[in-house]
Amino acid sequence: MKKVLTIAGSDSCGGAGIQADLKTFSAHLVYGMSVVTSVTAQNTQGVFGALDMPRDFIELQIKVVFEDIKVDAVKIGMLSSSEIIKTVSQSLKKYGAINVVLDPVMISKSGFKLLKYEAIETLIQDLIPVCTIITPNIHEASLLADMEIKNINEMKEACQRIHKLGAKNVLVKGGHLDDDAIDVLFDGKEFYYFKGQRINTINTHGTGCTLSSAIASNLALGYPVPDAIKNSKEYIQRAIENSFSIGHGVGPVDHLYAFRGGKQNEK
């Protein structure tokens, strides 16, 4: 059994963060483990608070997992401060982590800041070089690449700029543009395009968390980066197709039916 670790924040309503990651791991039949960086009070209507774990306790969680268990892939989500980013990057270097997928979470769909603005420079300096792939959305990519992104050509340009920052593979996600949901990968040599039909739903809480965890699962299972993304894009497409309402706001994507391609009968 492959073993995959998420280092991310907890989402009390279960749609994003650690909870989405663990559900995605199970759907891919890999064993999921978690290091909690922050606990958020969150529902489908928004994020109402976030409490960071002390950095030495984040370090301890990573240490005890790596010292005991062979970790086949790591997904990184919410890291709210420079201190936490440094702690995670130093630990990953120390334990020689492989197949590291960085989802540079900055702002929740509901508009809550999950990363302090001044920590972006630390993310670039300390964490990007440790990762196998970074998966920014349009907003995150424009901050990292320092440019506006409105179309595929600008997504490609942003990929190249972020690659120059030291990222081995860059996947800029087009979920926030109009038309089809096209994601662009640059591996330093070639561009790859992953096209998904846009699904007209408000229930997209946790799409980015789910995609990055699916990529980590596929890397752990031995797929090369482009194939890992192709499989993950199919997974997120089915997960959004089967997304559903659970509260009064933005509902979660589905993990129970997405992997096997089935449809949910009862919502």
Ligand X SMILES: Nc1ncnc2c1ncn2[C@@H]1O[C@H](COP(=O)(O)OP(=O)(O)OP(=O)(O)O)[C@@H](O)[C@H]1O
Phi and psi at 240, nearest 5°, equal: -75, -40
- What are the Cα distances from residue 165, in Å, to 3, 129, 131, 171? 29, 8, 12, 14
Q: Indicate which residue of 159, 173, 210, 251 is catalytic.
A: 173
Q: Which of 207, 210, 233, 251 is catalytic?
A: 207
- To the query of whether residue 15 is one of the catalytic residues in this protein, the response is no
Q: Report what 89 binds from ligand X, ligand MP5, none; CB cut-off 5-8 Å by kind.
A: none
For ligand MP5, the binding residues in 92-111 under the rule CB under 6 A are: 105, 108-109
Total residues contacting ligand MP5 (rule CB under 6 A)? 18
- Interface pick for ligand X out of 23, 163, 233, 238 (rule CB under 6 A): 233
Say which DSSP state 137 is in.
B
Are 206 and 11 in contact by the 8 Å Cβ rule? The answer is yes
- Spell out the SS3 assignment of 20-85: HHHHHHHHCCCEEEEEEEEEEEEECCEEEEEEECCHHHHHHHHHHHHHHCCCCEEEECCCCCHHHH
The DSSP call for residue 187 is -
Among 24, 204, 213, 242, which residue interacts with ligand X (rule: CB under 6 A)?
204
Q: Can residue 17 be called a binding residue for ligand MP5 (CB under 6 A)?
A: yes
Indicate the residue among 4 and 149 with the shorter CB distance to ligand X.
149
Q: Is 252 in the site for ligand X (CB under 6 A)?
A: no
Q: Considering beta carbons, is residue 74 or 221 the nearer one to ligand MP5?
A: 74
Which parts of 147-176 interact with ligand MP5 (CB under 6 A)? none
The CB-of-81 to ligand X minimum distance in angstroms stands at 18
236 binds, among ligand X, ligand MP5, none (CB under 5 to 8 A by kind): ligand X
Q: Tokens 């990055």 identify what position?
A: 212
Q: Choose the one of ligand X, ligand MP5, none that binds residue 78, judging by a C-beta under 5 to 8 angstroms depending on kind.
A: ligand MP5
The count of residues interacting with ligand X (CB under 6 A) is 22
The two structure tokens encoding residue 5: 């670790």
| Min CB(179)–ligand MP5 separation in Å | 20
- Which CB, 216 or 221, lies closer to ligand MP5? 216
CA angle 188, 193, 196 (to 5 degrees): 150
CA distances from 261 to 137, 167, 200, 238, 242 (A): 25, 32, 19, 7, 10
* Interaction of residue 175 with ligand X, rule CB under 6 A: yes
Report the length, in residues, of the chain. Answer: 267
Residues in contact with ligand MP5 by CB under 6 A are 8-9, 11, 16-17, 40, 42, 47, 77-78, 105, 108-109, 114, 205-206, 208-209
Catalytic residues: 173, 204, 206-209
